[in-house]
Amino acid sequence: MEPGTEARQLVAYRNFGLFIVPVLIFTVPKLFGFYLPQDIHSSAQRWSFIILTDILPWIAISGLVLRYAGNPAVHTKSGARAEDPLLTFRFAACLMVLFGHYFGVVFLIPGSAIMDIHPALRFLMASPWAGVWLFFALSGYLMGKGFFSGRYALNNEGISRFVANRFFRIFPIYLSAVLLVGLLVTPAIFRPENLWMLVQTLTLDFDGALPINVIGALWSVSTEFQFYLLAPFLALLINALDGRAGRFRLGYWSIGAVILLGILLNCYIAHKLSMAGTLKTGGFYKSVYAPLGGNLYLFVSGMLLAKLIQRDKPARQTRNLPLGMLLLAALCCALSIGASFTFYAEYHAGAYLLFGPVFALLGALVVIFLFETSKLAGAPLLLVRWTQFGGTLTYCLYVLHPPIMVAVRDLAPQAIHFRDQLLYAPVTAGALFLASYVFYRFIEKPCSAWRR
């Protein structure tokens, strides 16, 4: 070992410890949504909480990223394929959200007999919740792959590059959409008495339940970014648990263990909320469905799959691509039908939100495994090619779809029927894809040049 190496490593570890402190201060209060700024009635206390748990951690994290992100870090290429089936997966998950919010929320036909009148809606209404669960599982896998493949080193420089890249991937579109929609639709959020909501939204501490929600669907973006901040430390933990050759090694059973722990924890919280009488008054959404803690097992399961694939490097097979495509289609249909018979029908809706993520996660992990171990050949490759651009636009589509759908809905009759849904669908899709391409072309793509 060269002279001074141990001293440099000690300094690195100390700095690494400094990095996790602001991350924990930022993420821990948000894990289960038990204590939120909107629950505080005193303006001074609310601002104190936001400054302590949002603004100051962001300043500290930004300082560390600026300190280390510019330094050279040991890393390898990600090995991404030019035609990536995971973009097809992203596009399918995004379509689940878009169809669900269009047919099942914004353009929902009133009346409990709608399922009997139009059975096709069981598929068209999809499941926007399941689309988010699929996104979370995929995000966990991709973030884990970034570390376990060696693209990002698990040191100060690698973690800073990772956080900076995630920030420039997420925040430019996020900021632009919040400011534009805020100015046009919810200008009240810029009033002095409401600025705390704007600050909370822009610091990615947004759960979709503020008194003024500029874009309600952005809660999942905040949840994802909170996971991004924890991802490097989760990767370190997974590496430590995997051990070295000849000792303890993780296997696919570890994914099952994480899922079991996650669902038991969520069931326990749901039980406590039920005992307190708040389960059906927003408690489940606030403490289980939306926050990072209730979804953490989805992300970690994806990271574990990335670890196992990168470690074991299973052989690629031609049959895996068509199998993955068929399973993805079946998974989306099953999740949509499940939602139509439970959540939309107000029959065991809570059970669907509690146990549906497990079904979505298991299916997603199998699809991701098949896609990542496939040879790109044959007719299914055409579908991969056709969906690449849609997969590239998914983030812009997701961020922009709520305000655009609501704007088009205002043009439709107050009482709508199935034919109205079909009539306004092309108008909504055209406006959404056009706006998403503009945001991608002039905001997201130029900002990607800042990533390292």
Render each residue's pLDDT in the chain as its tens digit; 452 residues: 444 444 444 444 555 677 899 999 999 998 987 666 667 778 898 999 999 999 999 999 999 999 888 765 444 455 556 789 999 999 999 999 999 999 988 998 876 445 555 667 777 888 999 999 999 999 999 999 999 999 998 888 899 999 999 999 999 999 999 999 999 999 999 999 999 999 999 999 998 889 999 999 999 999 999 999 999 999 999 998 987 545 678 999 999 999 999 999 999 998 888 877 776 657 788 888 999 999 999 999 999 999 999 999 999 999 999 999 999 999 999 999 888 888 777 777 788 889 999 999 999 999 999 999 999 888 888 889 999 999 999 999 999 999 999 999 999 998 888 888 999 999 999 999 999 999 999 999 999 888 87
Which pTM value belongs to this model? Answer: 0.93
Within 10 angstroms of residue 240's Cβ, the number of other Cβ atoms is 8
12 within a domain of the structure (yes/no): no
Question: What contacts 389, CB < 8 A, 6 or more positions away?
Answer: none
The phi, psi pair for 215, rounded to 5°, reads -135, 105
373 within a domain of the structure (yes/no): yes
3 within a domain of the structure (yes/no): no
11 within a domain of the structure (yes/no): no
Q: What's the CA gap between 231 and 36, in Å, rounded?
A: 23
9 within a domain of the structure (yes/no): no
- Could you give the number of structural domains in the chain? 1
Question: CA quadruple 280, 286, 289, 293: dihedral positive or negative?
Answer: negative
Q: Give 3-state DSSP helix, strand, coil % of the chain, rounded to 5.
A: 75, 0, 25
Q: CA separation (Å) from 249 to 43, 239, 246, 296?
A: 51, 9, 8, 22
Quote the distance between the C-alpha of residue 40 and its chain's center.
27
7 within a domain of the structure (yes/no): no
8 within a domain of the structure (yes/no): no
Range 186-194 contact pairs with CB under 8 angstroms and sequence separation of 24 or more: 186/212, 186/213, 186/214, 188/212, 189/214, 193/43
Residue spans of alpha helices (H) in 69-155? 85-101, 114-117, 121-124, 128-148
Residue (of 363, 328, 320, 392) closest to 84 by Cα position: 392
Token pair listed for 92: 């399918």
Range of the domain at 333: 19-448
